[in-house]
Amino acid sequence: MSDEDLIGYLFDLLSPEDRATVAARLESDPTVVARLDALRVAAAPVLATAEAEREDPPEPRSGLALRAIAKVAQYVVEHEPRAPEPDRSEPTVAAFLREFTSDGPTDFEPGTRANVPGAPPRAAPPVSDGPDPQPGRRFRPDLIVAAGIAFLAFGLISSGIAKARQQQRVYACQNSLRTLHTGLAGYADAKEGRYPQIETASTAGTFATELTDQGHLPAGYRPGCPASANYVAYTYTLGFRDLPSGELLGLRRPDAAAPVSEHDLMPISADFPTTSASPGVGPVSSHAARMNVLFVGGNVRLTTSPFVGPGGDDIYRNLYGAVGAGANRTDAVLGRPGDRP
């Protein structure tokens, strides 16, 4: 395992497949864990800056969009092809005489101009109410084109900035969920593979307090979307009922050697549900029609559908359509901070 891979893991620059490979190596090789800790200490100032920018994305400089639009409009005006200007060195009278007196006029007829023998009649100029306006006062098409491009550019820039900010919020929340998974994994190591369990008298929001009290979350970490202006917490598993006893049980870390165990695709935490997926009244996802879902294997998935549990079940309702503990081990149900099993 190279230092480049570990640095990419620290700064979340790896693909999901490479990140999973590094995570698996960290679980099995203490020397790699020690190297990662050393790199984390060395890169602490950079990591702190990156985390601060995720939580409070820097705003673009004031007037940047308008300055860019002005540059585009100026370029169009300066480089738009124009008709050549007449040669001002030749007097107007001389040009007139040169054009119309090559063979001399004969007679004039209404609607013609200086009939020349052997040439077709030339149409008289249209009637005008006065002299042509000065060139500087004309309604210039090139300015209309420039203005149209400017408005189009402004719309594209505004849309691009909005999409970039939304995507940055999604990435920030995904990184926060990965940090949460690290804390859950540390808790499971100390609790014989068990994740924090929500008891009957407790609510889903208490899991973060337990992780913090046990020292498995970084100082100042909040289990929610750090890019949101308001504090938005995550949902957490409400556990399931063991059959046939009906005992309430929590999730465990996947263990291939155990006779019965959760698998990597069991959801354990996620954003609040979207408006369309929301069970009842309560806060909804800060990402409009999308949600980030954390699975016990450490993967984070952005989805628009709540049907991403094992077998395609709804992760915010149990098999009975209610917010509560799952009906069995494979029935994944995530509750908001105030929900109970």
pLDDT tens string 3-17: 888 888 877 778 878
Q: Where are the domains of the chain?
A: 172-341
CB 287 within 8 A of CB 173: yes
Please state the pTM of the whole predicted model.
0.53
Average pLDDT (34-43) is: 82
d(CA 54, CA 227): 7
pLDDT in tens, 217-233: 887 777 777 544 455 57
Q: Which of 50-59, 163-172, 332-341 has the lowest mean pLDDT?
A: 50-59
- Nearest alpha carbon to residue 341 among 224, 234, 207: 207
> Over the chain, what is the mean pLDDT?
75
Neighbours of 268 (CB within 10 A): 28
pLDDT computed for residue 210 by the predictor: 83
pLDDT bracket for residue 57 (50, 70, 90): low
Burial of residue 298 (CB within 10 Å: 0-12, 13-18, 19+) is buried
